[in-house]
């Protein structure tokens, strides 16, 4: 496995790979790997000649009061895991390599970015879209592997690919969870045992929602309130709970078609502390509602 930090060297490499007709499976990440990341590496490994992982904690996607500085990092362990998963290249540029002095052009996503995390984290998806556009130009990927954990991000990146004519296929991969059901996240490291217990409210709320919908409940307001209640009762502070059309992220009163339940909540971090001693966690589920029938 080779680690590349220079933008120029990375370009030479990907150009040469393309010239030799290799397919490039690409996984953009911010590091501090867990099984969620590894599941993407494994799929990329199965489906491509060459696997490239980028590791870059992108300052442009963090707000001023967010956890850019505290964001967990462990370069050595990350590299070891990449090597174990037979990743071929890790692109790990410095901040100045990605944003040299004078950098001033940003990609502004459209209405897919206006709700959910886009609303709670102004500028977040602008930072994501900008770095992803840069990484796609550099990595020249054939297929990009993204996690459903960041569902809205996947849709925004798909739209970016369509709008800017990137010759790239996007594959959204399932959320990997702990046996408890907690969705894996690099930010889980902020949680102590108590925090982890509280964080389980997210998956508990999702399961409650799935069961109600399976039983035939279609009233979005009622379902949202139920989910909120579970999150609140567990001692988390709700950031948002939304039930939306899964493709356009538009709201509806009565559920139909392919639906997304997306939630974000602040969980008390415990003594390890995140930004201002609370951790913002997200989770989601997608369901298909057959016309007129039950699931």
Contact residues for ligand AMP (CB under 6 A)? 29-30, 36-37, 39-40, 146-147, 149-150, 173, 175-176, 183-186
- Residue identified by tokens 């902020």 is 190
Q: Tell me the C-alpha distance between 225 and 213, whole Å.
A: 14
For residues 58 and 223, which CB has a smaller minimum distance to ligand AMP in the complex?
58
For residues 39 and 130, which CB has a smaller minimum distance to ligand AMP in the complex?
39
Q: Listing from the earlier edge strand, what are the strands of the sheet with 143-147?
A: 2-4, 89-91, 50-55, 24-29, 143-147, 169-173
User: Least distance in Å: CB of 145 to ligand AMP?
Assistant: 7
User: Least distance in Å: CB of 157 to ligand AMP?
Assistant: 9
For residues 37 and 126, which CB has a smaller minimum distance to ligand AMP in the complex?
37
For residues 90 and 183, which CB has a smaller minimum distance to ligand AMP in the complex?
183
User: Least distance in Å: CB of 61 to ligand AMP?
Assistant: 9
For the four alpha carbons of 70, 280, 37 and 107, in that order, the dihedral sign comes to negative
Q: Tell me the C-alpha distance between 74 and 41, whole Å.
A: 18
Question: For residue 28, which of 151, 155, 170, 126 has the smallest C-alpha distance?
Answer: 170
User: Least distance in Å: CB of 73 to ligand AMP?
Assistant: 11
Query: Would residue 238 be called left, alpha or beta, if left means φ above 0 and alpha means ψ between -120 and 50 degrees?
Result: beta
Ranges of beta strands (E only) in the chain are 2-4, 24-29, 50-55, 89-91, 143-147, 169-173, 237-245, 257-268, 278-289
Catalytic residue list contains 124: no
Tell me the catalytic residues: 37
């Amino acid at each position: 496995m080779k680690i590349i930090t220079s933008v120029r060297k990375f370009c030479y490499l990907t150009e040469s790979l393309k010239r030799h007709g290799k397919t490039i499976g690409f996984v953009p990440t911010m590091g501090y790997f867990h099984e969620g990341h590894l599941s993407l590496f494994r799929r990329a490994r199965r489906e491509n000649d060459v696997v490239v992982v980028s590791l870059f904690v992108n300052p442009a996607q963090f707000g001023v009061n967010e956890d850019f500085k505290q964001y967990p990092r462990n370069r050595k362990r990350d590299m070891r895991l990449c090597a174990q998963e037979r990743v071929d290249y890790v692109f790990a540029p410095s901040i100045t390599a990605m944003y040299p002095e004078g950098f001033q052009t940003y990609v502004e996503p459209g209405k897919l970015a206006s709700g959910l995390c886009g609303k709670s984290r102004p500028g977040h998806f602008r930072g994501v879209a900008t770095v992803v556009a840069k990484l796609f130009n550099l990595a020249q990927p054939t297929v990009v592997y993204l996690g459903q954990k960041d569902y809205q991000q996947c849709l925004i990146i798909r739209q970016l690919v369509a709008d800017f004519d990137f010759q790239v296929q996007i594959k959204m991969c399932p959320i990997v969870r702990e046996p408890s059901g907690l969705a894996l996240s690099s930010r889980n490291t902020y949680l102590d045992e108590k925090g982890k217990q509280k964080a389980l409210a997210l998956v508990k709320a999702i399961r409650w929602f799935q069961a109600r919908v399976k039983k035939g409940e279609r009233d979005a307001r009622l379902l949202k309130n139920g989910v909120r209640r579970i999150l609140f009762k567990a001692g988390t502070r709700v950031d948002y709970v939304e039930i939306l059309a899964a493709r356009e992220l538009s709201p509806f009163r009565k559920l139909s078609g392919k639906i997304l339940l997306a939630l974000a909540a602040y969980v008390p971090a415990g003594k390890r502390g995140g930004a201002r001693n609370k951790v913002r966690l997200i989770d989601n589920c997608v369901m298909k509602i057959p016309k007129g029938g039950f699931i």
